């Protein structure tokens, strides 16, 4: 089922992955992408007219390539790889909020933090997008809004 | 003219990307200084001459707008120029940035966008 925030999240995520990370993200996943084990997830909390958090999770062993693409040379230490993933979350969140909120709304974004996504926590995301990366990896983008 | 630059962002990856992009654009860099929040940036500015500060907005401890306000209240000789490099998309926030005389570049940026902002604020053509 697709909610009102899925399309803008997919659009922002696809553009960010392309422009910031030089990944061409595909909305249709092959079996390998769909079943790729998760590597790490980073979340950004935001507060303003609406509050919540945006989670970006990479799967399929692509974190070294993410860091390489962003830094332009070495694939970086594990902490730099997590930092790179956090920056992806930060940029996606910063571009998504004016679209789902409004350009006149002011939001405060916290620093990106490592997180674990509990698939069966009982909490339903307000938007979730999965994008295929390379031929074996995946990015999951999950938006949770706090209850008003 | 080589520019002493201070890059303030809580992401080490983003700091590295900004510096790499400046070099790619042919901007002649002198000292390249780092800070991960506004408070660290102020400590650097109190200690070293900086021609150009590139500043994120959303940072822990002291954010970019608080840093711009602190810079405005101090005397750094009037020679330092500032570019805010942020994901910020809020019109009031961007207007606030510009009210301090800073340029604004939105992440993710192209080398051309960053170079153009550097030329606008410093007058130094790369």
- Within 8 A of A97 by CB-CB distance, chain B residues are 89
Tell me the three state secondary structure of residue A10: helix
In the numeric block, which tokens belong to residue A72?
């332009």
Mean pLDDT of chain B: 93
Inter-chain CB proximity A80 and B88 less than 8 Å: no
Mean pLDDT of B51-70: 95
DSSP A62-91: -HHHHHHHHHSS----HHHHHHHHHHHHHH
Inter-chain CB proximity A80 and B10 less than 8 Å: no
Per-residue confidence band for A121, with pLDDT thresholds at 50, 70 and 90:
low
Inter-chain CB proximity A95 and B91 less than 8 Å: no
DSSP A119-134: TTSSPPPSEEEEEEET
Is-contact A109 A46, C-beta < 8 A?
yes
Across the interface, of B11, B13, B93, the residue whose CB is closest to A106 is: B93
pLDDT for residue A120: 58
What is the 8-class DSSP label of residue A121? S
* Residue of B11, B33, B27 lying closest to B85 (CA atoms): B11
Q: Testing the interface with B: which of A18, A74, A77, A111 to mutate, by most B Cβ within 10 A?
A: A111
Tell me the three state secondary structure of residue B82: strand
Question: Beta B52-55 vs B81-86: how paired, if at all?
Answer: parallel
pLDDT for residue A118: 67
- Residues A87-115: tens digit of each pLDDT: 999 999 999 999 998 888 999 999 999 98
Q: Which phi and psi angles does B109 have, rounded to 5°?
A: -110, 155
pLDDT for residue B87: 95
In the numeric block, which tokens belong to residue A86?
């956090």
- Within 8 A of B90 by CB-CB distance, chain A residues are 98, 103-107
pLDDT for residue A3: 86
């Amino acid at each position: 089922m697709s909610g009102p925030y899925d399309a803008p999240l997919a659009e922002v995520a696809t553009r960010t992955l392309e422009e910031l990370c030089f990944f061409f993200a595909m909305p249709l996943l092959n079996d390998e992408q769909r079943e790729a084990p998760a590597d790490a997830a980073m979340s950004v909390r935001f507060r303003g007219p609406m509050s919540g958090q945006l989670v970006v999770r990479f799967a399929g062993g692509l974190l070294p390539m993410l860091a390489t693409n962003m830094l332009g040379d070495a694939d970086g230490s594990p902490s730099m790889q997590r930092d790179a993933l956090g920056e992806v979350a930060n940029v996606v969140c910063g571009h998504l909020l004016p679209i789902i909120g409004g350009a006149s709304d002011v939001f405060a974004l916290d620093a990106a933090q490592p997180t674990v996504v509990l698939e069966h926590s009982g909490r339903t995301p307000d938007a979730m997008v999965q994008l295929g990366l390379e031929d074996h990896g995946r990015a999951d983008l999950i938006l949770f809004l706090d209850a008003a | 003219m080589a520019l002493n630059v201070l890059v303030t962002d809580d992401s080490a990856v983003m700091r590295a990307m900004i510096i790499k992009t400046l070099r790619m654009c042919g901007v002649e860099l002198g000292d390249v200084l780092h800070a991960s929040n506004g408070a660290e940036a102020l400590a650097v500015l109190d200690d070293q001459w900086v021609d150009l500060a590139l500043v994120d907005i959303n940072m822990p401890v002291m954010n970019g707008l608080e840093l711009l306000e602190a810079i405005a209240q101090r005397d750094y000789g009037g020679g330092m120029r500032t570019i805010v490099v942020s994901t910020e998309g809020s019109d009031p926030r961007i207007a606030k940035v510009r009210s301090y005389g800073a340029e604004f570049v939105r992440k993710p940026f192209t080398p051309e966008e960053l170079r153009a902002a550097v030329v606008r604020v410093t007058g130094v053509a790369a």
